[in-house]
Structure 1
Amino acid sequence: MSGYECSGTRIHSRGRGHYRCAVPIIRPYRPEDRAAVTEVCVLTGDGGEDSRERWPDPDLLANIFALPYVDHEPELAFVLDDGGTAVGYVLGTADTPAFVRWFRQERLPPLADRYPLRERPATPLEQLAVVLHHPERMLVAEVADHPAHLHIDLLPAYQGAGHGRALMTAFLRALNDRGVPRVHLQMDPANTRARAFYDRMGFSGIAVEGFPDGAFMGRATTAP
């Protein structure tokens, strides 16, 4: 789906006015969605809640968990569009080891000076920078047979209405069309709402040494 038709009322969401469609649509990511994707990442980045108090530099979180994916594999990024504004997304990679190599070689160098790696990171922002500097954290032996991984986020006002399922279905279909057999994700086990969603989507827990139960989940890419 490359476009939409919308006749709705003008509302204000996240400080910006836009027209809300009667039924938001799922569509492929576009370059003009970049700022909205960053905003959704930041507003849901702390266990599903607004992350700005915890990490006052909003660009860092997005440069770890959102923007690299839309730059590296935009064909695997889909957004929930409500009147021309992305209010949710799913994005990821079909090949985690290849993504890690790209991140190390091309993505990290331009960001390293802005977010230096401290020998003794003290603040939450400095601790988050450690995550930026260690993309190899994504290479987990126990999920090697699930080569793809994903991130999915929706603004709270759009949760619980089936949009997450629609986004996930689009992503799984795209992976399956490319011959990718399985996908995994990592989550905070304390986020019980997210866990319930993944359970409904057919994900199962994968035991990973050193991580609590439920931190990693995976499933086949066949449609739910």
Structure 2
Amino acid sequence: MRPEPRIRPYRPTDRAGVAAVCVLTALDGGDSRERYPDEELMPSLFAAPYCHLEPELAFVLDDGSGRAVGYVVGTADTRRFVKDFRETWIPRVARRYPEPVTEPRDPGEEMIRLLHTPERMILPELDAYPAHLHIDLLPDYQRRGFGRKLMETFLAALADRGVPAVHLGMVTANTAARAFYDRLGFHEIPVPDPGPLTYLGRSTAAAG
């Protein structure tokens, strides 16, 4: 009998699995490899720094065999995270991804520019939602309730730390993700000139 998928805390041995999930979901919820051929790039922005800087808030969906097929990662304090990202994370990856000195010429270089500007995460409109998160699941594990369980696990961990609210930024074009967040009680946070993103937030308190 095949073991049931389960949610558990992140382990250092999950690094490659989490990175693979990130790569396969990083382009509006789909495979990003054609646009970003360097398979370390997207995880270096959106998954690995959280696992390194705040592993206690990283959780994976284990397929039952030890393989990560989904995850939720984040921070309890965005302003502190940005400081740690600048001081600790960027030096770890700067040799592979040096800071650009010219305007980006392709999507990969645009992402490297984002990597070197973590202060973009600090917006005054989000101060009432100090935590933020990223959540991704492989397609075969979507629409089965695992995303909700991952989110509930993360929200409970934040609540245990006394964090009142959380936000996330999502690509506005990803309508399936927006429907998922709406079902979980997230609401839109107005932000001037948000670009391609929509910002959503909610309390960490359990719904109902």
In the alignment, what sits opposite 1:80? 61
Write the distance in 1 (CA, Å) between the matches of 2:153 and 2:206: 9
Aligned-residue Cα RMSD (Å) equals: 1.2
1:178 and 2:166 aligned? no
Residue matched to 2:72: 90
2:23/2:42 contact within 8 Å kept: yes
User: Mind listing any 5+ residue stretches in structure 1 that lack a counterpart?
Assistant: 1-6, 9-20
Matches within 5 A, 1:139-218: 139-211=122-194, 215-218=198-201
Q: Secondary structure at the residue paired with 1:152?
A: strand
For 1:50, what is the secondary structure of its paired residue? Answer: coil
CA pair 214-132 structure 1, distance change in 2 beyond 3 A:
closer
1:76-126 superposed Cα distances (whole Å, 9 cap, x missing partner): 011111121110000100000000001101111232232121312101111
Of residues 18, 32, 51 in structure 2, which corresponds to 1:37? 18
Aligned to 2:52: 71
Residues in 2 aligned to 1:105 and 1:211: alpha-carbon distance in whole angstroms:
26
Deviation for aligned residue 1:26: 0.8
Matched residue type, 1:198:
Y
> Segments of 4+ in structure 1 off by > 6 A?
none
Provide the rounded CA distance (Å) in 2 between the counterparts of 1:154 and 1:118.
35
Structure 2 length as normaliser, TM-score? 0.95
Aligned counterpart for 1:115 among listed residues 94, 97, 106: 97
Contact 1:187/1:214 (8 A) holds in 2 = yes
- Paired with 1:202 and 1:56, the residues of 2 have a C-alpha distance of 35
Q: Which amino acid aligns with 1:66?
A: A
2:118 corresponds to which residue?
Answer: 135
Between the aligned residues of both structures, percent identity stands at: 57
Alpha-carbon separation, structure 2, partners of 1:55 and 1:212: 20
Other-structure match for 1:17: none
Task: Say yes or no: does 1:53 pair with 2:53.
Answer: no
SS in structure 2 at match of 1:40: helix
**Higher mean displacement: 211-220 or 192-201:** 211-220
Distance in 1 (alpha carbons) for counterparts of 2:66 and 2:103: 43
Q: Which has the higher contact order (CA 8 A, sep 6+)?
A: 2
Structure number, greater radius of gyration: 1
Tell me how far apart the structure 2 counterparts of residues 100 and 126 of structure 1 sit (CA, whole Å).
Answer: 20
Judged with a 3 Å threshold, the aligned counterparts in structure 2 of structure 1 residues 213 and 31 are, in CA distance, closer, same or farther, namely: closer
Q: What is the count of residue pairs matched by the alignment?
A: 205
Listed as ranges, the gaps of 5+ residues in structure 2 are none
